Amino acid sequence: MNDAASADALLDGQALVWTPAERESFFAAIARHRRAAWRVSLVCGLGAAVLALVMALLLAPLLYCVIGLAIDVVNLVVPLPDAMGFFGRTLDHLLEGRHVAASEVIAVTALAALPGLLLMALVGAVLRRALRTSPLFDVGDLPGRAPDRSVLAEQRIANVVEE
C-alpha cells in the first residue's frame, strides 16, 4: 500500500492492513535502530569534542598565566628554560601578517589548547570516578522481582526482554 492509499484508507475510516511485503521484521527494525543509534552517538561524540576544544581554548589564557606564574616562582629557586617566551615568539611569528602554513596554525592551536585539554581530561576523570563510586548510581542494589505473567503489561515487557 502506498502512502496516498494508506492516507485515503485512514480518512475513510477503514482499517489499515499491511501486506507481508510491507511489514518490517523485528530483527530488521532492531538493526535499523542500532545503525541510527551509532550515528547519533558519533554526532554526540563529535559535538563533545568540539565543545572540549572550545573550552580548552577559552581557558588557555588563564591557564598560561597560572603556568607562567608557577614557572616564575620555581625559577627563583631553580633556573628553568624560557618556555613562555618560546610560546610568545611563536605567536608573534604567526601574527606578523605574512602567509603561514596551515600546519603551523594547527600546531599553535594544539599548543594553546593543551593545558585546557589536560584540565578537561582531569575534570572528566574526576567526574567519572565520582559517578562510579557514588551510591546513587549503584544498580546492584535495586529491588526487583520476576514479572507477573497474569498482568498483561508485565507479560508484554517480559516478551520484549526475551526477544
Q: Position of cell 625559577?
A: 75
User: Quick one: DSSP state of residue 19?
Assistant: -
Q: Does the model's pTM come out above 0.75?
A: no
What pLDDT is recorded for position 116? 86
Crossing angle of helices 26-77 and 102-133, rounded to 10°: 100
List of residues 6+ apart from 16 with CB closer than 8 A? 1, 6, 9, 10
- pLDDT at position 47: 94
In contact, 71 and 84? CB cutoff 8 Å: yes
Per residue of the chain (163 residues), what is the pLDDT tens digit?
555 555 555 555 566 677 777 777 888 888 888 888 888 899 999 998 888 888 888 888 888 888 888 888 888 888 887 777 777 777 777 777 677 788 877 887 888 788 888 888 898 899 889 888 877 766 565 567 788 888 888 888 888 888 7
